[in-house]
Structure 1
């Protein structure tokens, strides 16, 4: 099946995944492939894409190889696909700077989904002290993007992701910086066994749709000890994701940690087994958020948000089953069911509303726990002490600040939970 940047089923041809290699293996020079040795100029002006591709193909054939992007050089790289499967323990060492083309018109229409596309790789590590720079400002400032060929052609607002992995297994990304992506900075599609550690993602607060890390149809993920500031979700978790562990993250600016949106155009959305803990969220739209469209199908279940520190966050806690990114969305029956969501130790300040639980009239949120919630208005406060709580069932436990949170959840005798469980039995 053709991979065009969407999340279609993988045709991955490689062998079964193997363990991630240890950090810093001892390498002989015969296993080090410097991009400069393959004709790269490193001046930030000449196109070094062919050299990058050639170095990749050579390193891919050698077990334990390292492809080096050396420090003190800037490499201009056009949209490129680096494809596996490769020999085990391949490392991409980024110590210099990788630059995307700055001019929107220089991007081929066929490459508008992503810039650096890693496909069918496994047992693979990206690491280093360098920077991946998507050079996004021109993409953000143009209200209607056009592509110039023989004539102006509308490209429907498509913008590339800086770094994308497709159908890849046992991948580690650590220590590098990813900045100013035209759209999402780091994306994993149809992948498994992902580890992100000690990276920095940065783009301005007003850069549209620049998610930090985006997960879709991806399982067994750990994201830790990283700083993420962007114009959209710091971490976005989409359908098909499970066994995700996110901890020790600094988020802001941005839209917080988000599950969804799910269920658009009556589609199926399934997310389960998500743990988010020890997170600091500052000056963002949301803290921890679940968002689904009316009319969707599927479920979000077994989700835990714990030990979340918020500072001047507009809405620290959100469940929104009426999500709409337009001026108007028509009402629809049905919803992606949300159950088993735990909020424990969400502490700090808000600027608009402490809690927002807007659950479906037809399929309410069930088994929601609010424990040790302490949210106070920030100094720039101009919002409400009252939360919005609609059709959500669960339990709350003190301390709860503001005290109105104690009345946010309805108590359920068990009948609603059982009905929802029957509804979900054959969906996800």
Structure 2
């Protein structure tokens, strides 16, 4: 019997072993391969005042949101930045909070935010940021029907992938310089630093409370009826993205900034869609969107009216696509100013198309300082409607903010500039076309096609201005521009000479 019992135990053990082998395949798990990308360079961003007043380029002067996790997400696979439109995210809401589970949404009111427009809600926002930043697809939510006041703050990354900052209510800084905490930076309000794959969106409003900043008696600017009004000192930029990548900003209303409404520097991969930016026509230095040292940018379907440049493009920018934007009132869409204090500036591959510019001091502008270096090349303006605009098309290589600027021999080289289907009306106080190029470094390869500009009121101004500008007219221009020179200048600029 003992022998028979041993044989039975051996048979049962053998059968169970084969059965377990059949279950091994069911324990195999498939792991998706994470995408990889190109991180933003961590070299310092040089300070370059593109409009009238520079913004500090160091994020450390604000009050940091403490406790950011040390997790560093792997960015996405890079695409070669060879052509416009740039490589930017295509979905304005890739991480829509409505698709997220409730445990990944961090409502700031749950962290103590009062939202009555009076209480200081800064601590609650920092706590909510820390919590949302630490989870995948985390959402920090400022809900509607609340008005949150927060002081100057740096929201730092890295955060886990899919991070969303959603504003459905109202966010605002302290009301004017007298209410601004003395320990806080007066150069910037909200700073988003070292983030990847972040979305900043919502149906709410960012209210800048800029009125008292505009009235500071530091820098004069033009007022109504030819008067001169005071302007900003160290007024804060409202929203700044610094050293970040793969950003989406959409849906928000941004109003009354003390200085620039939104600034991007040292960034790569930016999608801006469906924004409303507004401040009064005479509010000084309130650029709508300013970018510098930033590449792969798309700005789409937005309404911008303010007291300075609608969109300003500073040094170090490349592969920028702007489409479906309405500007006005404003100072137009500007490349520059570039080359201040004999600095080098390189800008390339910029496209502006299907845009409206109305009631503005300038339309399409390239502005550089004498004595600068570098180049502006590969710029295309196409299908632009002008409505009562001064200086509809302008290249100004003698940009200066005072009468004390001296003539200098070096200049930022401007070449390969294309204007096509630029039509509408202009303010007759200035000629609609103005090409003032450097005495020593001519503007070359300017192309005009289907440019038809008529006076809003009064008689046709038939004397567009050109100085040392070379190019061609593919069609007859209205008004005629006979001062544009054919061919190439006698002195050809060597591109290597300008280091771009």
**TM-score, L = length of structure 1:** 0.92
* CA distance 1:48–1:174, shift in 2 (3 Å): same
Q: Choose from 385, 391, 408 the match for 2:462.
A: 385
Which of 116, 125, 133 pairs up with 1:60? Answer: 133
Deviations 1:52-75 (A, max 9, x none): 111001100000011110000000
Greater shift after overlay, 15-24 or 381-390?
15-24
Q: Are the equivalent residues in 1 in contact too, given 2:214–2:232 (CA < 8 A)?
A: no
1:127 to 175, 184, 201: 201
CA–CA distance in structure 2, aligned partners of residues 23 and 399 of structure 1: 49
In 1: Cα distance, 2:214 partner to 2:471 partner:
42
> 1:353·1:383 contact (CA, 8 Å) conserved in 2?
no
Higher relative contact order (CA 8 A, sep 6+): 2
Tell me which residue corresponds to 1:114. 188
For residue 328 of structure 1, report the CA deviation from its aligned partner: 3.0
Distance 1:8 1:58, change over 3 A: closer
RMSD: 2.3
Q: Secondary structure at 1:286's aligned position in 2?
A: coil
What is the DSSP-based 3-state SS (H/G/I as helix, E as strand, rest coil) of the residue aligned with 1:111? Answer: coil
Deviations, residues 292-346 of structure 1 (Å, cap 9, x unaligned): 0011111000000111100100110000000011133111111000000001111
The answer to whether residue 379 in structure 2 is matched with residue 321 in structure 1 is no
Taking the aligned partners of 1:8 and 1:333, their CA distance within structure 2 comes to: 32
Q: Is the 1:83–1:120 Cα contact (8 Å) retained in structure 2?
A: yes
Q: 1:110 and 1:30 mapped to 2: Cα distance?
A: 33
- Distance in 1, matches of 2:177 and 2:73, equals 38
Structure 1 residues 6, 18: CA separation in 2 closer, same or farther (over 3 Å shift)?
farther
Q: What corresponds to 2:76 in structure 1?
A: 18
Match of 2:154 in 1: 81
Distance of aligned partners of 1:197 and 1:415 in 2 relative to their CA distance in 1, 3 Å threshold? same
Q: Which runs of 5+ in 1 are unaligned?
A: 146-154
Instruction: Name 2:324's counterpart in structure 1.
Output: 248
1:354 aligns with 2:421: no
Does structure 2 conserve the Cα–Cα contact (< 8 Å) formed by 1:9 and 1:190? no
Partners of 1:274 and 1:304 within 8 A in 2: yes
The Cα shift of 1:371 comes to 0.9
1:35-184 superposed matches below 5 A:
35-107=108-180, 108=182, 110-144=184-218, 157-184=233-260
Per-residue CA shift, 1:352-384, capped at 9, x if unaligned? Answer: 2110000001000001101110000112x4783
Q: Per-residue displacement from partner, 1:82-113 (whole Å, max 9, x unpaired)?
A: 11000000111100000111130232365111
1:190 pairs with 2:266: yes
Distance 1:101 1:6 in 2: 19
Three-state SS of the structure 1 residue aligned to 2:403 is coil
Unaligned runs of 5+ residues in structure 2 are 1-42, 48-54, 61-69, 78-88, 220-230
Q: Which residue of 2 aligns with 1:410?
A: 485
Q: CA deviation at 1:143?
A: 1.4
* Offset at residue 427 of structure 1 (A): 1.0
TM-score by length of 2: 0.79
Q: How many residues align?
A: 412
CA distance in 2 between counterparts of 1:396 and 1:83 reads 50
Q: 1:383 to 1:83 in 2, by over 3 A?
A: farther
- Structure 1 residue 278: Cα displacement: 0.6
**8 Å contact from structure 1 (residues 262, 296) kept in 2:** yes
Structure 2 distance, partners of 1:56, 1:106, is: 24
- How much does 1:141 deviate? 1.3
Compute the displacement of 1:413 (Å).
4.7
- Contact 2:416-2:445 within 8 A present in 1 as well: yes
1:372 matched to 2:450? The reply is yes
Match of 2:441 in 1: 363
- Residues 231 and 114 from structure 1, CA distance in 2 versus in 1: closer, same or farther, beyond 3 angstroms? same
SS in 2 for 1:56: helix
The secondary structure found in structure 1 opposite 2:325 is strand
> How far is 1:120 from its partner?
0.5
SS at match of 1:401: coil
Partner of 1:203: 279
Q: Judge conservation of contact 1:160–1:183 (CA < 8 Å) in 2.
A: yes
